[in-house]
Structure 1
């Protein structure tokens, strides 16, 4: 969850972590509790990552990169699609016939989003920001991930200010629910 380094290094480490979880998911032969635990683990990581990007990365993209509004808006649309899939997966039994196709849709959406960020957004941010700015953003992203919700909230506003105000409270409630249920502790 917190890897260290500047914002690009931090977020790319998250990307690799999620890709590794997806590879474990694809290698699974059955479903059941093992699959539910892995889906929960992926959900926790993706929600935290998305909240941190919405609070700090995309405002920096808007501020520092030419055409940043367009880039940030596209990434927010990606997040919205992923969060809706995560919400559906949260409610779905692992033996549901739609689980496999829904997981594949999630993996495809996330892979396209990662490719876009790493090809377009991150290089532009590296060119536009100083190393100190990138390090500061990395610190902010790590703090945001530590306080972020762990469950999808697709109806929540994705503006940076609303997210900064609402995410810590939602995160506290989500982490309390996770503690009581043991969610996210099996890996």
Structure 2
């Protein structure tokens, strides 16, 4: 992830990538390492995306959008639920009976979250922010994604300033673990 452009284009491109991964998961008939690799890839993308939104997008929504606190709080609550599902998926074997229902719940929840952001939050932010501010937010989000954790940390803080202080350290540890294990390289 890291596509360029303003924050809305950046995040919508992320959304399309996650939807493409969901399509690949749905088309996969079996379990095994190929499914684990796809679940890991979805997890990495969703965690990095969520951390960046929590660090920069939602504070901007609070600042620029009328009723932004309520909107940001709802989106952060959605992220918390998704992160719990990702943690469950991380420790569930791909051939376990609960794997497919957990994946279905994840795909449904994330798809609803994407629709809500793109139909509601993004247009409001676009109307209330200058193009320059949206471009700067895009740069901030890309930097945050490059340093973000790659594994779910449901108990980690999800609002500034604590999330901006702790996420890079967790990200460093996660990327080191990923390097050693080869996770996310397929």
TM-score (norm 1): 0.99
User: Aligned partners of 2:43 and 2:31: how far apart in 1?
Assistant: 16
Equivalent residue number for residue 31 of structure 1: 31
The residue correspondences of 1:1-187 to structure 2 (distance < 5 A) are: 1-186=1-186
Shift of 1:160: 1.8
SS in 1 for 2:42: helix
SS in 2 for 1:19: helix
Aligned residues: 186
5+ unaligned residues in a row in structure 1: which ranges?
none
Shift of 1:153: 0.1
Shift of 1:5: 0.5
User: Aligned partners of 1:160 and 1:92: how far apart in 2?
Assistant: 31
User: Aligned partners of 1:172 and 1:73: how far apart in 2?
Assistant: 27
Deviations 1:107-130 (A, max 9, x none): 000001000000000000000000
5+ unaligned residues in a row in structure 2: which ranges?
none
User: Aligned partners of 2:40 and 2:156: how far apart in 1?
Assistant: 19
Shift of 1:138: 0.1
Which consecutive segments of 4 or more residues in structure 1 shift more than 4 A? none
User: Aligned partners of 2:66 and 2:89: how far apart in 1?
Assistant: 36
Shift of 1:159: 1.1
What's the Cα RMSD here? Answer: 0.3
User: Aligned partners of 1:94 and 1:120: how far apart in 2?
Assistant: 35
TM-score (norm 2): 1.00
